[in-house]
Amino acid sequence: MKDDETRAWLALSRIPHLPRRVLHRLILATSSAEEIFQLSAFELTAAKVGAEAQKMLREGVDLRQVEQDFKTVQLQHIKLLPVSSTLYPALLKEINDPPPLLYIRGDLSVLDLPSLAMVGSRRSSQAGGANAFRFARELAGAGFSIVSGMALGVDTQCHRGALAAGGSTVAVLGTGIDIVYPRRNKELFESIVCQGAVISEFPMGTDPHPARFPRRNRIISGMSLGVLVVEAALQSGSLITARCAMEQGREVFAIPGSIHNSGSKGCHQLIKQGAKLVESVSDVMEELKGWCADAPPVLEEKGAQNKVSKDLHERERLLLDIIGYDPVSIDSLQQRTDWPMHDLVALVTALELRGLLDCVAGSYQRTV
């Protein structure tokens, strides 16, 4: 894209009172951003462009802001992709309300890969985080690009799992492309830029706001073949992504959890509504077979017993069996085992440190 055209797109993105659907129509009706600025008042009115936006199109926007944006584009190697571009993600272009303009950092070719969205709770359990990492690693290794929102918790583990497999991942932001949020994911952000892509529909400098994250969820689902909800409570934003997927005709998958875990109730609700219950990576691959025909076979992890370290003591193995997969308090464990409390606490702590137990609201449950 030439510099003048880039500046024109940046100027368009700074015009207030110009709804996404209206800008979408203008883009498809013209051959460039510069041409949109040259449309007559009659043409703009016919396209349902409001008076305020028409005034801005005639008089222009703050050129200092446009130049500042242009310098950021050059400095951070940001690419602008209008919906009319042949490089625009094909599936995303099909949804009811595609972003008129995408800002992208990273490898554009990643957008051509078959993609699977993976989302879940920001406050994920240890088991939820482990599932997110493992499923993402195996699916990325099978040839899928993993799409998520770079939030803390499940999203972060999904991106990390894909990167660990040497695969591709896409982070869809609820901020401007030049804003890293949450800040603690800065290193992850840079890794995704190097091994995948970071995208946003928001103008540069757009700060995080709760209302923007549900809006970006339609992009996460829209550019993907399906959405896998790893772990979600009933009020989780992940359910918004799942609902978007259903409305867009995408596959919806959900990993179940304990009936006593409030963090799994959102997944259980989705399964009741028709989402496919997922226990293994092969459950997802079965629905999406054909999209990665040349991919290497998925190497799933073995069952729970094989995941337990071979050097566990007999008492530790027995304790794992007693605890099971539903939360149980330390007092209940003491009653069941009749072991001294200080010995029991030491064993539980050791198993938790090895990642074999998860503490949920003061109770313990197995993660494998």
Summarised one tens digit per residue, pLDDT across range 181-234 is 999 999 999 999 999 999 999 999 999 999 899 999 999 999 999 999 999 999
Q: Is the pLDDT of residue 293 over 80?
A: no
**Which pLDDT does position 304 carry in this prediction?**
42
CATH number corresponding to 108-287: 3.40.50.450
**Which pLDDT does position 311 carry in this prediction?**
66
Considering only residues 142 and 289, tell me which one the structure prediction assigns the higher pLDDT.
142
**Which pLDDT does position 17 carry in this prediction?**
84
**Which pLDDT does position 231 carry in this prediction?**
96
Q: Is the pLDDT of residue 178 over 50?
A: yes
**Which pLDDT does position 194 carry in this prediction?**
96
**Percent of the chain having pLDDT more than 90?**
65
**Which pLDDT does position 360 carry in this prediction?**
72
**Which pLDDT does position 62 carry in this prediction?**
83
**Which pLDDT does position 253 carry in this prediction?**
98
**Which pLDDT does position 234 carry in this prediction?**
94
Domain extent listing, the chain:
1-75, 108-287, 304-366
CA distance readout (Å), 368 to 244, 263, 310: 31, 17, 14
pLDDT, average across residues 262-276 = 95
**Percent of the chain having pLDDT more than 70?**
95
Q: Is the pLDDT of residue 306 over 60?
A: no
Backbone angles phi, psi at 122, to 5 degrees: -70, -30
Q: Is the pLDDT of residue 68 over 60?
A: yes
**Which pLDDT does position 266 carry in this prediction?**
96
**Which pLDDT does position 310 carry in this prediction?**
59
Considering only residues 288 and 309, tell me which one the structure prediction assigns the higher pLDDT.
288
Taking Cα atoms as reference points, which of 170, 160, 59 lies closest to residue 104?
170
**Which pLDDT does position 88 carry in this prediction?**
96
CATH number corresponding to 304-366: 1.10.10.10
